Amino acid sequence: MRLLLVEDNRRLGELVCEGLRTAGYAVDWVTSIDEAEAALEAARIDLMLLDLGLPDGDGIDLIRRLRRARNMTPILVLTARSGLNDRITGLDSGADDFLVKPFAIEELSARCRALLRRPDRGLPPQLILGNVALDPGERTVSVGDVRQDLGRKEIDLLEVLLRRAEHVVSKPMLEDSMYNMNEDVSANAIEAAVSRLRRHLKEAQATVEIRTVHGLGYSISAQQKSS
C-alpha cells in the first residue's frame, strides 16, 4: 500500500517514514500543500497522512479542496492541535481520523491498518491463493500452517501479485507499488525480488507459481492439480 506523508518537520518526517517503511508500506514524503497536490496527481495514493500547519497553508483547506473535487483518498490528520473544535472541524471537512502529536509509531501504524481495512479501501484480512496466505495488515505470510520468513520487498511483491492473481502485473506497476518516489531502483530490482520469492515459495512447497510473461510482466496462479 502506498502512503503519502505531508509533514514539514524534518525529524518527525524521518521517524514516521522509517517506522512505516519498516511496517511494509511504500511511503512518499512531501513538506508542503503544493507538493502534496502534485504527488496525488502523479501516483495512486492509498492513504494520506497530513499535518495541518504547513508552510504554504492550512491542511484543512487541502482536505476541503480534495473532497470538493471528489477525491476520496482516506486522510489521517497528524497534528498538535488537540482541541475538540479542531478535531470536529477536521472531521467535518472530510478527514477520516485524527492523531494528536506526540504519538507512538505503533499507534500510527495501527490507525493506518484500520483505515485501510475499511470495506471500500481494499485491505482484506487475508489474501489467499493455493496454500499461501498473506495478512496485509500484519505483514505476515504462511504456507499451509507454517509462518514464512520473507524480506520486506518479497512480501510487497507477493501482495501486489496476490491482489491481481491470475492477471499479468507489469514491471512499472510493481515498481510503483513496491518503491517510493525518492527510492533508487536498480534495473534488475524486480527480477531479483521475483527470483528470491520464487525460490522461497518452492522451498516451502507452496502450491502457487509465478509466471514470467515476456514483454508484459508477471502473474501468480494456483498450481493445477495433476489428474
Question: How confident is the model over 205-214, as a mean pLDDT?
Answer: 93
The whole-number pLDDT of residue 6 equals 96
β-strand partners of 51: 78
What's the pLDDT tens digit per position in 144-188? 989 999 988 899 899 889 988 888 988 888 887 787 766 677 878
Residue 117's nearest CA partner among 205, 47, 54, 62 is 47
Q: Which amino acid is at 120?
A: D
The whole-number pLDDT of residue 226 equals 54
Instruction: Please name the residue that has the C-alpha cell 499535518.
Output: 51
**Architecture of 2-116 per CATH?**
3-Layer(aba) Sandwich (3.40)
pTM above 0.75, yes or no: no
The whole-number pLDDT of residue 212 equals 92
Domain map (residue ranges) of the chain: 2-116, 127-222
Is 1.10.240.10 the CATH classification of the domain at 127-222?
no
The whole-number pLDDT of residue 202 equals 93
β pairing state of 47-51 and 2-6: parallel
What's the pLDDT tens digit per position in 124-138? 567 889 999 998 777
